[in-house]
Amino acid sequence: MNCYIVRMLPNHDFFIPFEEPLTVAEVKDEMFNQLSAPTKNMVLIYNGQILSDHISLSDLGITHASVLFLFVKNFDSFLLHDPKRLLLEISSLASYFASMQPDVMKKATKEIRSYIDSPMLKALAKVSPEVSHFLSKVLENIERLHNPFDESMLDLLNRMQDNSFNIMESVNGEIRTCSNNSSNTIELILVDSSIDEIEIEEQKQDFTYEPTNLDYVSCINSNPLPTIDFYDDSNSDPQEFSYGY
């Protein structure tokens, strides 16, 4: 399925699946479901342009895998759970099932189910078959926890943890590919919380790094230290003074 990638700085990526091109307002509505942030506080930016709600993204050439930048006024993203973080949380909780007490495991499985049912991961599962398969396997393993525990279950949990890292690499690779293929990606720098003071700069795709010159020995001056002339108060003739001993 096609998707837009909505990016919140510094590094939070969200996925908006679509079959038909969406309007800016529809993208904001989807982000409301994922973030629970008021749409009136949202600003979507593409190619240095703040987008109006009524605009269809296809009219701007925004297609599958295009990256839109989102700024939400008065929104604290410090503890924001994005799809990648939810996948890591699921992997972390599932990897400790074998050592959990029954009451702790009950809470962990409840939390995992809430993550899987979240709009963030539901959207990502529509876009990525690998993520969808991984989440279904997690639910299957949770159901098996009600059966007597055996060594085969431990093996399943270990494999599930390994698969989660492969899934994360797949998601990261997809994001990198989409970003590299998008020629309209921009960098958004927030000066403060005011929408009127948003500064937009074009993202540089290629960076040239000058190597550090560590061969500084040839730059050392080995000439003798200079001498200076000074006048003594008791003698008007100049005296020579040399640095050194």
For 29-32, the CB contacts below 8 A with 24+ separation are: 30/119, 30/123, 31/6, 31/70
**23 lies in the same domain as 66:** yes
Q: Is the pLDDT of residue 37 over 90?
A: yes
Q: Tell me the pTM.
A: 0.63
138: containing domain: 83-175
Alpha carbon 51 to its chain centroid, in Å, reads 22
Residue 147 lies in a domain: yes
CATH number, residue 50: 3.10.20.90
Give the pLDDT confidence of 220-237 residue by residue, as tens digits. 566 666 665 555 555 555
Here the tokens at position 165 are 């890292």
Query: What's the confidence (pLDDT) of residue 34?
Result: 96
How does pLDDT run across 66-123, given as a tens digit for each residue?
A: 999 999 998 877 678 899 999 989 988 888 877 888 888 889 999 999 999 999 999 9
Using CA atoms, how far apart are residues 40 and 124, in angstroms rounded to an integer? 24
Q: 184: pLDDT confidence band, cut at 50, 70 and 90?
A: very low
Share of the chain above pLDDT 90, in %: 38
Give CA–CA dist 44/52, Å, rounded: 8
Range of lowest pLDDT (15-19, 111-115, 135-139, 146-150): 146-150
**How many C-beta atoms surround the C-beta of residue 191 within 10 A?**
9
The Cα 39–Cα 28 span in angstroms is: 6
The tally of domains found in the chain comes to 2
- Give the whole-angstrom CA distance, residue 26 versus residue 123: 14
- The pLDDT score that the predictor gives to residue 125 is 94
